[in-house]
Amino acid sequence: MNARPRPPGTENRRTRVLVGAAAALLLVAGALTVVLTDVGPSSDEQLVGAGHGFGGRHDHYGNQDDPEGGDAGDGGAGGGDQGGGDHGGGAHGGHGDGAEAVGPFEEDFADIEQAPPREDGPEPGPEASTGSFTVDCGVNENGVFNSENVIVAPGVPHGAQHTHDYVGNQNVQNFTDDVLANNELLAQGETTCPDGDLSMHYWPVLRDITREGADADESGGGLDGNIGEILTASSATIEFLGNPRGPVTEMPEFLQIITGNARANTAEGANARAQWTCTGFEDRAFPDRYPLCPEGSDVVRIFDFPSCWDGENFESPDNRTHIVFPEEDGGCQDGFTAVPLLRQTLVYEVPDGPSFAVDGFPEEEHAPITDHSDHINVMPRELMAELVDCVNTGRDC
């Protein structure tokens, strides 16, 4: 097998992961101590967060006007905004029965009619790339899940501390911190996407917290405070869009992209990009609330990814600075080039009322603001060229 060139910016990955692994071991030891010393309520009581009287989320998100503000962190397992690392200081309320609350809380839910309007973005200019390219990779019918994160915590077992849903590339291994080796394994994987597209898309699962999950005694599930039955999306739309200022260029092979911040609750909203809405109400969305949808309407999660690439790196130490969001006018800052904007739209049928929650790190209290998603581009070059041509010529493909 011919080795591919090692992507720039990967030299410090092993150091960061080794630090993260040590932190993860400390977390496991702490979790075992809690399990052995705190009997707590019965399993049935723990499952239904909404049914026992919510506690309160004392800290709301002080940086909503600048979601890109704040330090993104190391990005590795030891302390990045999506990696593992020490438990943060999220404020916990209490369940009505006296047990410690882990979220979600009553104020995390709101009627969709109260959601602010979604921003349409800048008006397209005369050189705008206005087309779209849609890919159907399914809704994880194969049931591929794990609590790993090969982008943020490569080689760290259960480094995510929450369960991810996967579509696209089915080779969801995470055995090594070596980016080149992981890329080779992705290139050998099978896929649920058409036309040989080996790209990987993954996001935290959504759970029905009124029912017991099959992973109640497993890492990423109940052992990490992620309680409830995993819900399968009724649809998952993956589309690539253009840029309002001009044409886009091809994404490089193995480009890693993340959107949102799995630690946005304890990071006071830094890098938050969550969009929660309902079918029929897509013109509005909450950044920090779960939507309560009317009868006949389903919950929707929308992920818009950064789309200005530095033209050189496939990844970066903080997992963000190699590909960033456009400027306010839609263009890219100096030194960056526009690539197709990836948008993932997930739709779920959920039980009535405050009955669902997204997976997350234990200290993040299942806050809706922590919603996030990840992508690795392994699309064949010919297909990527077709995608870019479609977007740049204003066609919907």
Q: Residue 162: which of 233, 219, 81, 87 has the closest Cα?
A: 219
Whole-number pLDDT of residue 160:
95
Q: How far apart are CA 303 and CA 306, in angstroms?
A: 10
Where in the chain are the domains? 106-305+340-393
Q: Residue 377: which of 177, 233, 238 has the closest Cα?
A: 238
Whole-number pLDDT of residue 68:
36
Whole-number pLDDT of residue 82:
54
Contacts of 150 (CB under 8 A, 6+ apart): 172, 173, 174, 182, 200, 376
Residue-wise pLDDT tens for the chain (397 aa)? 333 344 444 444 433 433 343 444 343 344 433 333 333 333 333 333 333 334 455 333 333 333 333 333 333 333 345 544 333 333 333 333 333 448 999 999 999 999 999 988 899 999 999 999 999 999 999 999 999 999 999 999 999 999 999 999 999 989 899 999 999 999 999 999 999 999 999 999 999 999 999 999 999 999 999 999 999 999 999 999 999 999 999 999 999 999 999 999 999 999 999 999 999 999 999 999 999 999 999 999 999 999 999 999 999 999 999 999 999 999 999 999 999 999 999 999 999 999 999 999 999 999 999 999 999 999 999 999 999 999 999 999 9
Q: What are phi and psi of 255, to 5 degrees?
A: -60, 130
Amino acid 393 reads T
Whole-number pLDDT of residue 121:
84
The C-alpha angle with vertex 336 and arms to 333 and 338, in degrees rounded to 5, equals 100
Sheet strands side by side (includes 229-231): 229-231, 206-208, 356-358
Q: How far apart are CA 137 and CA 197, in angstroms?
A: 9
What DSSP string describes 100-134? BP-S--GGGEEEGGGSPBPP--SPP-TT----EEE
Whole-number pLDDT of residue 159:
92
The C-alpha angle with vertex 369 and arms to 248 and 23, in degrees rounded to 5, equals 95
Q: How far apart are CA 93 and CA 112, in angstroms?
A: 24
Q: What are phi and psi of 357, to 5 degrees?
A: -160, 150
- Per-residue tokens: 113: 């009619």
Ordered alpha helix ranges (H), the chain: 13-37, 43-47, 179-187, 381-392
Whole-number pLDDT of residue 57:
55
Token pair 């903080």 in the structure block, residue: 318
- DSSP for residue 293: P
33 C-beta neighbours (distance < 10 Å), count: 10
279 C-beta neighbours (distance < 10 Å), count: 18
- Per-residue tokens: 85: 């690392």
Helix (H, G, I), strand (E, B) or coil at 181: helix
Q: How far apart are CA 95 and CA 209, in angstroms?
A: 14
Q: Are 172 and 182 in contact (CB under 8 A)?
A: no
Contacts of 279 (CB under 8 A, 6+ apart): 293, 297, 298, 300, 347
